[in-house]
Amino acid sequence: MVALVLPLTQNPDQLHLLNAKNDFEHEMVRGLKCGDQKALENLYKMYSGSLYGIISRIVKFDEVAEDILQDTFIKIWKSIDHYEASKGRLFTWMARLAKNSAIDHLRSKSQVNSSKNDSLGDLSIVVDRSHHTQYNPEIIGVKKLTEYLTPAQKEILELVYFQGYTQAEVADELSIPIGTVKTRIRLAILTLRTFF
């Protein structure tokens, strides 16, 4: 097998542009490490569009992507001391921060909860209001069935199911423990099941 080795030749213009880019990036990083806000503004002008593109591919809402972009630049500002030119280009480091911030947002509890509450969007739902449902215990005879209960059970069911009291309110009203209220309700329901 014969290996063909071609010399890597770059024209002087390409080398000059590469050196200028490296010098500019070095100056940018030096300015950021010195706390120069003008360097951060320049960095934002140069790279915000590219970083926003990375974030928006991960996060589906523009407003959230914009927030993550702002958070990314804050992280860049605060953690620029961790950037090492020997390990890679500045943009690569920033792109990794942007991507990780977007992924962290998706994994966050608030995002998981909000995704459960997504709007229905274009789904159109027509609600037919012509069918009315009304609860009337007299129609099914539940109130009449309570005659088979003890007076204590009947009183508690009247308060809870027909007057809307909570079990705690019934316990306060009748001055009995809440456990007794729950037991009487359970026994009353078991009794009603035999008739209904």
In the chain, which segments carry CATH 1.10.1740.10? Answer: 12-114
Asked if residue 33 lies in contact with residue 78, where contact means CB atoms within 8 angstroms, the answer is no
pLDDT at 171: 92
Contact 54, 96 (CB under 8 A): no
CATH number belonging to the domain at 137-195, selected among 1.10.10.10, 3.40.50.300, 1.10.357.10, 3.30.1370.60: 1.10.10.10
Q: Which two tokens stand for residue 160?
A: 């809870």
Whole-number pLDDT of residue 122: 53
pLDDT reported for residue 196: 65
Residue 154 — φ and ψ, nearest 5°?
A: -60, -40
At 99 the pLDDT is 92
Domain with CATH 1.10.10.10 in the chain: 137-195
CA-to-CA dists, residue 104 to 1, 56, 76, 81, 85, angstroms: 49, 14, 16, 22, 25
Helix (H, G, I), strand (E, B) or coil at 175: coil
pLDDT at 80: 86
Number of H helices, E strands in the chain: 10, 0
Choices 1.10.8.60, 3.40.190.10, 1.10.540.10, 1.10.1740.10: CATH for 12-114? 1.10.1740.10
Residues in the chain predicted with pLDDT less than 50, given as ranges, are 1, 4-6, 123, 125, 139
Give the C-alpha separation, 85 to 26, whole Å. Answer: 8
